[in-house]
Structure 1
Amino acid sequence: MRTEFSTAALEPGAVYRLLTATVVPRPIAWVSTVSADGVDNLAPHSFFTVSSVRPPVVQFTSVGRKDSLRNVEATGEFVVNLAPESLMDEVNRTATEFPHGVSEFDAVGVAREAAARVKASRVARSPVALECELHSTLRLGDSTVVFGRVVHIAVDDGVLADGHPEVTRLRPLARLGKDEWSTLGEVRELRRIRYTDRPASG
Protein backbone atom coordinates (compact mmCIF):
# COMPACT_ATOMS: atom_id res chain seq x y z
CA MET A 1 0.00 0.00 0.00
CA ARG A 2 1.15 3.55 -0.78
CA THR A 3 -0.05 7.02 0.21
CA GLU A 4 -0.69 8.95 -2.99
CA PHE A 5 -0.06 12.71 -3.28
CA SER A 6 -1.27 15.00 -6.06
CA THR A 7 1.16 17.91 -6.18
CA ALA A 8 -1.56 20.11 -7.68
CA ALA A 9 -3.66 19.60 -4.54
CA LEU A 10 -0.85 20.35 -2.07
CA GLU A 11 0.29 23.76 -0.89
CA PRO A 12 3.88 24.59 -1.93
CA GLY A 13 5.33 24.06 1.54
CA ALA A 14 4.04 20.50 1.62
CA VAL A 15 5.54 19.77 -1.81
CA TYR A 16 8.86 21.23 -0.65
CA ARG A 17 8.88 19.03 2.45
CA LEU A 18 8.08 15.89 0.44
CA LEU A 19 10.74 16.56 -2.19
CA THR A 20 13.52 17.50 0.22
CA ALA A 21 12.77 14.46 2.40
CA THR A 22 12.97 12.05 -0.54
CA VAL A 23 15.68 13.55 -2.78
CA VAL A 24 18.43 12.73 -0.28
CA PRO A 25 21.24 13.08 0.55
CA ARG A 26 21.89 16.42 -1.14
CA PRO A 27 25.41 17.88 -1.30
CA ILE A 28 25.77 21.43 -0.05
CA ALA A 29 27.14 24.30 -2.12
CA TRP A 30 28.45 26.77 0.47
CA VAL A 31 28.31 29.72 -1.90
CA SER A 32 30.38 32.82 -1.29
CA THR A 33 29.74 35.98 -3.28
CA VAL A 34 30.47 39.66 -3.03
CA SER A 35 27.98 42.45 -3.71
CA ALA A 36 28.56 45.31 -6.10
CA ASP A 37 29.21 47.40 -2.95
CA GLY A 38 31.92 45.00 -1.77
CA VAL A 39 30.01 43.18 1.00
CA ASP A 40 30.85 39.46 1.30
CA ASN A 41 27.99 36.98 1.47
CA LEU A 42 28.09 33.30 2.42
CA ALA A 43 25.12 30.92 2.30
CA PRO A 44 24.49 27.16 1.94
CA HIS A 45 22.42 25.85 -0.97
CA SER A 46 21.47 22.16 -1.01
CA PHE A 47 20.04 22.09 -4.54
CA PHE A 48 23.50 21.62 -6.06
CA THR A 49 25.27 19.39 -8.57
CA VAL A 50 27.73 19.14 -11.48
CA SER A 51 26.15 20.14 -14.79
CA SER A 52 28.97 19.59 -17.28
CA VAL A 53 32.65 18.65 -17.47
CA ARG A 54 33.45 20.03 -20.94
CA PRO A 55 33.13 22.88 -20.16
CA PRO A 56 33.34 22.44 -16.35
CA VAL A 57 30.03 23.78 -15.02
CA VAL A 58 28.34 23.42 -11.64
CA GLN A 59 24.87 24.58 -10.67
CA PHE A 60 23.01 25.64 -7.57
CA THR A 61 19.43 26.77 -7.13
CA SER A 62 18.33 29.86 -5.27
CA VAL A 63 14.82 29.29 -3.92
CA GLY A 64 13.50 32.83 -4.05
CA ARG A 65 15.67 35.88 -4.67
CA LYS A 66 18.43 35.70 -2.08
CA ASP A 67 21.65 37.69 -1.74
CA SER A 68 23.68 34.89 -3.35
CA LEU A 69 21.62 35.24 -6.54
CA ARG A 70 21.59 39.04 -6.50
CA ASN A 71 25.35 39.19 -6.06
CA VAL A 72 26.03 36.65 -8.81
CA GLU A 73 23.80 38.60 -11.18
CA ALA A 74 25.59 41.84 -10.26
CA THR A 75 29.18 40.60 -10.43
CA GLY A 76 29.09 37.44 -12.56
CA GLU A 77 31.23 35.50 -10.07
CA PHE A 78 30.97 33.16 -7.08
CA VAL A 79 32.79 30.42 -5.19
CA VAL A 80 31.38 27.04 -4.21
CA ASN A 81 33.10 25.98 -0.99
CA LEU A 82 32.81 22.36 0.13
CA ALA A 83 30.85 22.17 3.40
CA PRO A 84 32.84 19.81 5.67
CA GLU A 85 31.64 18.06 8.81
CA SER A 86 34.06 20.07 10.95
CA LEU A 87 32.24 23.29 10.01
CA MET A 88 28.67 22.01 10.37
CA ASP A 89 27.67 24.63 12.95
CA GLU A 90 29.09 27.45 10.86
CA VAL A 91 27.36 26.19 7.70
CA ASN A 92 24.04 26.07 9.53
CA ARG A 93 24.49 29.52 11.05
CA THR A 94 25.18 31.08 7.64
CA ALA A 95 21.72 29.88 6.58
CA THR A 96 20.22 32.51 8.92
CA GLU A 97 18.41 35.27 7.01
CA PHE A 98 20.69 38.13 8.00
CA PRO A 99 19.64 41.62 6.84
CA HIS A 100 20.84 42.71 3.43
CA GLY A 101 24.30 44.22 3.69
CA VAL A 102 25.46 42.01 6.58
CA SER A 103 28.39 39.71 5.83
CA GLU A 104 27.87 36.17 7.11
CA PHE A 105 31.66 35.76 7.21
CA ASP A 106 31.80 38.43 9.89
CA ALA A 107 28.49 37.70 11.65
CA VAL A 108 29.29 33.99 12.09
CA GLY A 109 33.05 34.32 12.43
CA VAL A 110 34.09 32.35 9.33
CA ALA A 111 37.67 32.99 8.24
CA ARG A 112 38.04 34.08 4.62
CA GLU A 113 40.89 34.02 2.14
CA ALA A 114 41.37 35.63 -1.25
CA ALA A 115 40.37 33.64 -4.31
CA ALA A 116 42.78 33.17 -7.21
CA ARG A 117 40.52 34.14 -10.13
CA VAL A 118 37.37 35.81 -8.78
CA LYS A 119 36.62 38.67 -6.39
CA ALA A 120 34.46 36.63 -4.01
CA SER A 121 36.31 35.34 -0.95
CA ARG A 122 36.90 31.65 -0.27
CA VAL A 123 36.20 29.96 3.06
CA ALA A 124 39.69 29.52 4.47
CA ARG A 125 38.93 26.25 6.29
CA SER A 126 36.96 24.63 3.48
CA PRO A 127 39.01 21.83 1.90
CA VAL A 128 37.87 22.57 -1.65
CA ALA A 129 36.89 25.79 -3.40
CA LEU A 130 35.44 25.95 -6.91
CA GLU A 131 35.87 29.45 -8.30
CA CYS A 132 33.18 30.17 -10.86
CA GLU A 133 32.23 32.71 -13.46
CA LEU A 134 28.53 32.98 -14.27
CA HIS A 135 27.59 30.90 -17.30
CA SER A 136 23.82 31.48 -17.27
CA THR A 137 20.71 31.42 -15.13
CA LEU A 138 17.39 29.69 -15.62
CA ARG A 139 14.21 30.87 -13.92
CA LEU A 140 11.88 28.04 -12.85
CA GLY A 141 8.80 29.24 -10.98
CA ASP A 142 9.88 30.70 -7.64
CA SER A 143 13.48 29.57 -8.10
CA THR A 144 16.52 30.39 -10.20
CA VAL A 145 19.11 27.84 -11.29
CA VAL A 146 22.58 29.38 -11.42
CA PHE A 147 25.14 27.78 -13.73
CA GLY A 148 28.78 28.64 -13.07
CA ARG A 149 31.77 27.83 -15.24
CA VAL A 150 34.52 26.55 -12.97
CA VAL A 151 37.65 28.55 -13.79
CA HIS A 152 39.83 27.51 -10.85
CA ILE A 153 39.86 24.70 -8.26
CA ALA A 154 41.76 24.95 -4.97
CA VAL A 155 42.17 21.77 -2.91
CA ASP A 156 43.78 21.51 0.52
CA ASP A 157 46.84 19.23 0.33
CA GLY A 158 45.63 17.43 3.47
CA VAL A 159 42.64 15.90 1.66
CA LEU A 160 44.60 14.64 -1.34
CA ALA A 161 45.66 11.05 -1.83
CA ASP A 162 47.86 10.46 -4.89
CA GLY A 163 46.79 13.86 -6.18
CA HIS A 164 43.07 13.10 -5.92
CA PRO A 165 40.56 14.32 -3.29
CA GLU A 166 39.85 11.49 -0.84
CA VAL A 167 36.27 11.49 0.41
CA THR A 168 37.11 10.16 3.87
CA ARG A 169 39.40 13.17 4.30
CA LEU A 170 36.92 15.64 2.80
CA ARG A 171 34.17 14.56 5.25
CA PRO A 172 31.40 16.33 3.28
CA LEU A 173 28.07 17.26 4.82
CA ALA A 174 24.74 16.62 3.15
CA ARG A 175 21.20 17.84 3.75
CA LEU A 176 18.23 15.56 4.28
CA GLY A 177 14.61 16.45 5.07
CA LYS A 178 13.29 18.76 7.80
CA ASP A 179 16.21 19.86 10.03
CA GLU A 180 18.16 16.67 9.34
CA TRP A 181 21.76 16.56 8.17
CA SER A 182 23.99 13.68 7.13
CA THR A 183 27.69 13.02 7.53
CA LEU A 184 29.77 10.66 5.42
CA GLY A 185 29.05 7.32 7.10
CA GLU A 186 30.14 4.07 5.47
CA VAL A 187 31.93 4.25 2.13
CA ARG A 188 31.67 1.25 -0.18
CA GLU A 189 33.38 0.71 -3.52
CA LEU A 190 31.47 -0.99 -6.34
CA ARG A 191 32.90 -0.91 -9.82
CA ARG A 192 30.63 -0.42 -12.80
CA ILE A 193 30.24 -3.58 -14.91
CA ARG A 194 31.15 -3.18 -18.56
CA TYR A 195 28.72 -4.65 -21.04
CA THR A 196 31.34 -7.10 -22.31
CA ASP A 197 32.06 -8.27 -18.75
CA ARG A 198 28.47 -8.73 -17.64
CA PRO A 199 27.60 -12.20 -16.28
CA ALA A 200 25.68 -14.45 -18.62
CA SER A 201 21.96 -14.53 -17.84
CA GLY A 202 20.51 -17.81 -16.64
Structure 2
Amino acid sequence: MMTPGKVAVGTKNLFMPSPVTLVGANVNGKPNFLTVAWCSIVNNFPPMVSISLYRIRHTRAGIKENGTFSVNIPSSRQVEVTDYCGIFSGKNVDKSRVFDCFYGKLKSAPMIVSCPMNMECSLHSTHSIGTHDLYIGNIVEIYVDEDCLTDGMPDIRRIDPMVCTWKGNYWLIGEFVAKTFDAGKRYKP
Protein backbone atom coordinates (compact mmCIF):
# COMPACT_ATOMS: atom_id res chain seq x y z
CA MET A 1 0.00 0.00 0.00
CA MET A 2 1.39 3.40 -1.01
CA THR A 3 1.66 6.28 1.41
CA PRO A 4 -0.30 9.32 0.17
CA GLY A 5 1.99 11.86 -1.46
CA LYS A 6 4.74 9.31 -2.26
CA VAL A 7 5.47 8.15 -5.82
CA ALA A 8 7.35 4.93 -6.60
CA VAL A 9 10.13 5.78 -9.06
CA GLY A 10 11.70 2.33 -9.45
CA THR A 11 15.06 0.92 -8.51
CA LYS A 12 17.85 3.22 -9.62
CA ASN A 13 21.02 4.61 -8.10
CA LEU A 14 19.27 7.63 -6.60
CA PHE A 15 21.35 8.04 -3.46
CA MET A 16 22.24 11.70 -3.38
CA PRO A 17 24.16 13.77 -3.04
CA SER A 18 27.43 11.95 -3.60
CA PRO A 19 30.83 13.56 -3.01
CA VAL A 20 32.82 14.46 -6.11
CA THR A 21 36.34 13.05 -5.84
CA LEU A 22 39.33 12.43 -8.04
CA VAL A 23 40.77 8.97 -7.39
CA GLY A 24 44.43 8.60 -8.26
CA ALA A 25 46.70 5.63 -8.90
CA ASN A 26 49.95 5.08 -10.74
CA VAL A 27 49.24 3.04 -13.86
CA ASN A 28 52.34 1.72 -15.62
CA GLY A 29 54.46 4.16 -13.61
CA LYS A 30 52.38 7.26 -14.47
CA PRO A 31 49.80 9.11 -12.35
CA ASN A 32 46.24 8.66 -13.55
CA PHE A 33 43.09 10.22 -12.13
CA LEU A 34 39.42 9.34 -12.44
CA THR A 35 36.36 11.29 -11.31
CA VAL A 36 34.44 9.20 -8.77
CA ALA A 37 31.19 10.05 -6.98
CA TRP A 38 30.67 6.63 -5.39
CA CYS A 39 32.93 7.17 -2.41
CA SER A 40 32.28 6.89 1.33
CA ILE A 41 33.86 6.53 4.77
CA VAL A 42 33.28 2.95 5.93
CA ASN A 43 35.15 2.53 9.23
CA ASN A 44 36.43 4.57 12.19
CA PHE A 45 39.26 2.53 13.70
CA PRO A 46 41.22 2.06 11.56
CA PRO A 47 39.87 4.83 9.32
CA MET A 48 38.78 3.43 5.95
CA VAL A 49 37.21 4.75 2.77
CA SER A 50 35.48 2.93 -0.09
CA ILE A 51 35.35 3.70 -3.79
CA SER A 52 33.25 1.88 -6.35
CA LEU A 53 34.68 1.68 -9.87
CA TYR A 54 33.04 0.39 -13.02
CA ARG A 55 35.01 -2.62 -14.25
CA ILE A 56 36.25 -0.94 -17.44
CA ARG A 57 38.03 1.89 -15.59
CA HIS A 58 41.73 2.23 -16.38
CA THR A 59 42.64 3.36 -12.83
CA ARG A 60 41.75 -0.11 -11.50
CA ALA A 61 44.97 -1.51 -13.00
CA GLY A 62 47.08 0.92 -10.97
CA ILE A 63 45.27 0.13 -7.74
CA LYS A 64 45.85 -3.57 -8.33
CA GLU A 65 49.47 -3.04 -9.40
CA ASN A 66 50.51 -0.88 -6.42
CA GLY A 67 47.99 -1.72 -3.70
CA THR A 68 47.51 2.02 -3.14
CA PHE A 69 45.29 4.86 -4.30
CA SER A 70 44.38 8.41 -3.37
CA VAL A 71 41.08 10.17 -2.90
CA ASN A 72 41.39 13.87 -3.74
CA ILE A 73 38.67 16.40 -2.95
CA PRO A 74 38.57 19.09 -5.66
CA SER A 75 37.09 22.52 -5.05
CA SER A 76 34.29 23.89 -7.22
CA ARG A 77 36.88 26.02 -9.03
CA GLN A 78 38.22 22.74 -10.48
CA VAL A 79 34.95 21.59 -12.04
CA GLU A 80 36.20 21.57 -15.64
CA VAL A 81 39.37 19.55 -15.01
CA THR A 82 37.44 17.25 -12.65
CA ASP A 83 34.83 16.54 -15.29
CA TYR A 84 37.57 16.06 -17.92
CA CYS A 85 39.03 13.24 -15.81
CA GLY A 86 35.64 11.52 -15.84
CA ILE A 87 35.03 11.96 -19.56
CA PHE A 88 38.39 10.77 -20.90
CA SER A 89 39.95 7.43 -20.02
CA GLY A 90 43.62 7.06 -19.17
CA LYS A 91 43.62 4.23 -21.72
CA ASN A 92 43.29 6.84 -24.48
CA VAL A 93 44.60 10.08 -22.93
CA ASP A 94 47.75 10.64 -20.87
CA LYS A 95 46.44 12.32 -17.71
CA SER A 96 49.83 12.24 -15.96
CA ARG A 97 50.45 15.91 -16.77
CA VAL A 98 46.98 17.24 -15.98
CA PHE A 99 47.93 17.91 -12.35
CA ASP A 100 51.04 18.61 -10.34
CA CYS A 101 51.31 15.60 -8.05
CA PHE A 102 52.93 14.76 -4.75
CA TYR A 103 53.49 11.53 -2.87
CA GLY A 104 53.22 10.85 0.83
CA LYS A 105 54.14 8.02 3.17
CA LEU A 106 53.28 5.21 0.74
CA LYS A 107 55.30 6.74 -2.11
CA SER A 108 53.02 5.17 -4.74
CA ALA A 109 49.63 6.92 -4.44
CA PRO A 110 49.70 10.12 -6.52
CA MET A 111 47.88 13.05 -4.93
CA ILE A 112 46.87 16.35 -6.52
CA VAL A 113 48.62 19.45 -5.19
CA SER A 114 45.80 21.79 -6.29
CA CYS A 115 43.05 19.80 -4.51
CA PRO A 116 42.46 21.27 -1.05
CA MET A 117 42.17 17.83 0.58
CA ASN A 118 43.84 14.49 -0.19
CA MET A 119 43.54 11.04 1.36
CA GLU A 120 46.43 8.61 0.89
CA CYS A 121 45.18 5.02 1.04
CA SER A 122 46.57 1.51 1.09
CA LEU A 123 44.31 -1.13 -0.40
CA HIS A 124 42.58 -3.17 2.30
CA SER A 125 40.32 -5.32 0.12
CA THR A 126 38.52 -5.55 -3.21
CA HIS A 127 35.02 -6.90 -3.68
CA SER A 128 33.38 -7.70 -7.02
CA ILE A 129 29.75 -6.59 -6.80
CA GLY A 130 28.10 -6.88 -10.19
CA THR A 131 29.10 -4.18 -12.67
CA HIS A 132 31.54 -2.56 -10.24
CA ASP A 133 34.45 -3.42 -7.99
CA LEU A 134 34.35 -2.00 -4.48
CA TYR A 135 37.77 -0.98 -3.17
CA ILE A 136 38.22 -0.46 0.54
CA GLY A 137 41.30 1.47 1.55
CA ASN A 138 43.00 2.16 4.84
CA ILE A 139 43.48 5.91 5.16
CA VAL A 140 47.21 6.23 5.84
CA GLU A 141 47.27 10.03 5.94
CA ILE A 142 45.08 13.03 5.14
CA TYR A 143 46.62 16.20 3.73
CA VAL A 144 44.76 19.53 3.81
CA ASP A 145 45.77 22.94 2.49
CA GLU A 146 46.73 25.10 5.44
CA ASP A 147 44.30 27.85 4.39
CA CYS A 148 41.45 25.30 4.42
CA LEU A 149 41.79 24.56 8.13
CA THR A 150 39.84 26.07 11.02
CA ASP A 151 41.11 25.17 14.49
CA GLY A 152 43.29 22.47 12.94
CA MET A 153 40.42 20.68 11.16
CA PRO A 154 39.25 20.77 7.51
CA ASP A 155 36.71 23.56 6.94
CA ILE A 156 34.06 22.62 4.37
CA ARG A 157 33.47 26.27 3.43
CA ARG A 158 37.13 26.77 2.62
CA ILE A 159 37.56 23.45 0.83
CA ASP A 160 34.50 24.29 -1.30
CA PRO A 161 33.75 20.69 -2.38
CA MET A 162 31.19 19.64 -4.96
CA VAL A 163 28.51 16.99 -4.77
CA CYS A 164 26.91 15.11 -7.62
CA THR A 165 23.28 14.13 -8.18
CA TRP A 166 22.14 10.93 -9.78
CA LYS A 167 21.67 12.62 -13.16
CA GLY A 168 25.30 13.71 -13.14
CA ASN A 169 24.93 17.35 -12.15
CA TYR A 170 27.49 19.10 -9.98
CA TRP A 171 26.26 21.13 -7.01
CA LEU A 172 27.75 23.13 -4.17
CA ILE A 173 27.24 22.34 -0.51
CA GLY A 174 24.49 24.41 1.16
CA GLU A 175 24.47 26.26 4.44
CA PHE A 176 25.08 25.10 7.99
CA VAL A 177 21.95 23.54 9.55
CA ALA A 178 22.84 22.20 12.99
CA LYS A 179 25.60 20.57 15.02
CA THR A 180 25.66 16.76 14.95
CA PHE A 181 24.96 14.90 18.18
CA ASP A 182 23.46 18.12 19.52
CA ALA A 183 20.31 19.04 17.56
CA GLY A 184 18.62 15.81 18.59
CA LYS A 185 18.94 16.68 22.26
CA ARG A 186 16.20 19.30 21.78
CA TYR A 187 13.75 16.85 20.18
CA LYS A 188 10.81 15.92 22.41
CA PRO A 189 9.05 12.66 21.35
Which of the five TM-score ranges fits, normalised by the shorter chain? 0.7 to 0.9
| Counterparts of 2:106 and 2:9, CA distance in 1 | 46
Match of 1:142 among 127, 131, 143: 131
Q: Are 1:24 and 2:24 counterparts?
A: no
TM-score (ref. length: structure 2): 0.87
Partner of 2:174: 185
Does the Cα contact within 8 Å between 2:109 and 2:121 map onto a contact in 1? Answer: no
| Counterparts of 2:127 and 2:167, CA distance in 1 | 26
Structure 1 segments unaligned to the other structure (5+ residues): 8-14
Partner of 1:10: none
Match of 1:55 among 46, 55, 58: 46
| Counterparts of 1:88 and 1:189, CA distance in 2 | 28
Does the Cα contact within 8 Å between 2:18 and 2:165 map onto a contact in 1? Answer: yes
Q: Find runs of 4+ consecutive structure 1 residues off by over 6 angstroms.
A: none
Amino acid corresponding to residue 24 of structure 1 in structure 2: M
Match of 1:87 among 59, 78, 81: 78
Structure number with bigger Rg: 1
Superposed, which structure 2 residues align to 1:35-46 within 5 Å? 35=27, 37-46=28-37
Q: CA deviation at 1:118?
A: 3.0
| Counterparts of 1:190 and 1:73, CA distance in 2 | 39
Q: CA deviation at 1:192?
A: 2.7
Amino acid corresponding to residue 149 of structure 2 in structure 1: L
State the number of aligned residues. 185
| Counterparts of 2:170 and 2:116, CA distance in 1 | 19
| Counterparts of 1:73 and 1:25, CA distance in 2 | 28
Partner of 1:72: 63
Amino acid corresponding to residue 49 of structure 2 in structure 1: V
Q: Secondary structure at the match of 1:24?
A: coil
Structure with higher helix content: 1
Q: CA deviation at 1:69?
A: 1.6
Superposed, which structure 2 residues align to 1:189-200 within 5 Å? 189-193=178-182, 197=185, 200=188
Structure with higher strand content: 2
Structure 2 segments unaligned to the other structure (5+ residues): none
> Identity of paired residues, percent?
21
Q: Kindly provide the CA deviation profile for residues 139-185 of structure 1, in whole angstroms up to 9, marking residues without a partner as x.
A: 11111100000111111101001101111001011111323111123
Aligned alpha-carbon RMSD (Å): 2.2
| Counterparts of 1:115 and 1:99, CA distance in 2 | 23
TM-score (ref. length: structure 1): 0.82
Q: Measured at CA, do residues 168 and 193 of structure 1 come closer, stay the same or move farther in structure 2, by a change above 3 Å?
A: closer
